[in-house]
Structures are given as structure tokens and as C-alpha cells.
Amino acid sequence: MFFLRRRFLRRFLPRHASPLLPAAENHIFPESFFGADHEIRRRSQPVAMQTNPETQPQGALLPMSTRAEKFAGLSVAIVTPFRDGGIDTKRLHEQVDFQAKAGVTCICPVGTTGESPTLTHDEHERVIAESIQAAAGRLLVMPGTGSNSTAEAIRLTKFAAKAGANAALVVGPYYNRPTQQGIYEHFKAIAESVDIPICVYNIPARTGRNIEPETIIRLASLPGIAMLKEATGSMDQASQILAATDLTVLSGDDSMTLPLLAIGGRGVVSVVGNLVPADMKALLDAFDKGDLATARRLHVKLFTLCRDLLGLASNPIPIKAAMAMVGRDTGDVRLPLISLEAPLAAKLRQVLADYGLAVTKA
């Protein structure tokens, strides 16, 4: 899937890169690790992209499979709904149903969008368990289980695996600013503690420390490291990783989805998907089919909405406000986050209306 036209490869790949995806030493994973319908292997030799004239559009290219292809496509970082100071379980199940009906690939509860920093340990585990129960096999579940304490990250990841999660989204350790070797040892310990795939989440704007490409390439040699949620905003860094590994790379920024797809990314962990999953899925599907004109049109359509959902205030303040404005209220954010201030709320309301969403009266 994700057919890349030659002109797109020439335009977006660095001059030193090749439209091949070299990998390290051969390693074949058990089918149960990612699902029996996907053979996951690391190849000792580069495999060129090939065309299949019988099934692919003329000029489209079929890239070799990445390590966790079943997670390619649209994942949605869902919000955590609150009511009367606690978790609103009923609304959480409604959210999961909404995403399942929209046909998304995966949901990612208890991440940044899910306000994991202000959840108690019990609440964090409860949201993971309830999300898996609500998904009921209709979509994949990849909860956030990261921490700046390796022991705590292992504990949470083990809980998620035991509860039936399909993978774990693990953010880089924040605040304590470990060295690159420390980051490597952190993820290695987590990956070796469970038998579900790990998605490394690199977002230096929040963690205070970039996971350098060389460190991610080292991590890719570990069987349990399967994906990267790329939120550095650096196409050079993403290109270096994509050229050197077979990791499944997902965009961590909605507005960077199309550029990342163009260099070999396989999908997005989306915030805007809480509101309009069909439109983001349509963008991914259009690119998948080689329909670049439609993909670009949807990128432009989504851009202002994506920008303001992440730029008006800290995530998830704007997305929770937007969901309330379209009749899907998920409660307030928790301190130290505060509700969107009135002038910004008015701007967001106008953005939603301009997009074509039915907005309730203020």
C-alpha cells in the first residue's frame, strides 16, 4: 500500500537517499507478534520497490512492507472524557464506537491527548482496560504507556499487554533528560519486558530531548521495536530513519501527514481524527491509491483545522473544546490545563463552521 510515484520520490527524498529501504541483519518475527496476516521480517539485503501492472495504477510503486504494516493507516489519539471529577466510562465507550464506525485502524488512549499526565495510576489502567473492552476487536488498541521512570513504563506496558493491547505507544523519557545511551537502554528494557510491539514516540518539544536518528536506528535492531511516531517535524531526520530501517513510521502531527507519506511514512496518529476521521482516512486512502491530487486537496482542506487544534492552546484543550462545540462534549480538561479562553474559543468556533461542521450555539 501507499504507492509512491517516481516524481514524488525524486522531489521529497534527500539526494543521498534511495527509494530502497535497507535493513539490518535478517530477523523473522513470529506471526503472532503482529498478526498472522502480516509476515514481519528484517531483510539482510535492500529490496527495491516494484510495480505490479495487473493491480496497481500506472506509474504507482509498491514499497516493501514495513515491520508493523497492520498499524499503517489512521490511528486516533482519543481524549479522556471526564465527568464529576472522574472518568466518564459511558462517553469513552461512545468515542471508541465512533472511531470503529469510521473505519479507523487503531485508537491510542491515554497519550498526551488523553491527558495521561493528570491521570492516577488506577485511572490510567482503567482507561486502557475500558478502551480494549469497547474496541472488542473492531480496531487495534495502542495505549500510551510511557514514563520518565523505566520501571513505571515497564509496569504500565505489562499491564497493557495483559489487558489485551495490540501494541504500546511509549514516549521518550521526559524531564530527566537522559543521554542517548540512556534512552536506548530505557526502550530496550521496555521492549524486552513484553511480547507486544513497541512504538517509539519522539516528541522533543514535550520531552526536552530528541531521540537522535542514530539511536532510533540502533533501537530498530531490537525485535520488539516495531514503529516510530515521528513528531520532530524534521523531514531530514525522518528520511534518515526511513532509509536505514524497516520501522513503520507514523506521523505525530496531522498537518505533516502528507509530507511524511511522500518519503515513506505509513500513516498518522491523529488528533483531528477525533472530529473528522473520515476526511483524514480519505487523505490516506487517496495517497494509498496514488491519487496525489485528491490527497493534496484534502491536506489543504484539513490544514487550518489541524493547525488550530494544536496551535490555539496546549493539546488537548482545543480538541476537547471543539468536540463540545459539535455536540460531543467530553468534559473539561484537568488542571494545570484550563478550558479554552473566550477569544480563542470564538476563533475555534469560526474555524469549525468554516470547515463545514455543525456547531452548537455558544
Any catalytic annotation for residue 162? no
Question: Cis before residue 316, ω within 30 degrees of 0?
Answer: yes
Tell me, yes or no, if 90 is annotated catalytic.
no
- Extract the C-alpha cell encoding 237: 531526520
d(CA 107, CA 197): 15
Catalytic residue chosen out of the listed positions 229, 281, 320, 355:
229
Adjacent-strand bridge partners of 87: 82
* Cα distances (Å, whole numbers) of residue 180 to 40, 135, 238, 249: 27, 36, 17, 20
Q: Angle at CA 253, nearest 5°, toward 82 and 123?
A: 25
Confirm if 171 and 143 have CB atoms less than 8 A apart. no
Phi, psi of 54 (to 5 degrees): -80, -30
End-to-end C-alpha distance for the chain, whole angstroms: 43
- Alpha-carbon span 208 to 227, nearest angstrom: 21
- Please compute, for residue 281, the number of CA atoms within 13 A of its CA located in the half-sphere on the CB side: 17
Number of Cβ within 10 Å of residue 57's Cβ equals 13
Task: List the catalytic residue out of 184, 201, 281, 320.
Answer: 201
| Alpha-carbon torsion, ordered 332, 310, 111, 122, to 10 deg | -20
Burial class (CB in 10 A: 0-12, 13-18, 19+), 30: exposed
- The three grid cell numbers given for residue 252, joined into one nine-digit string: 505525530
Catalytic residues: 201, 229
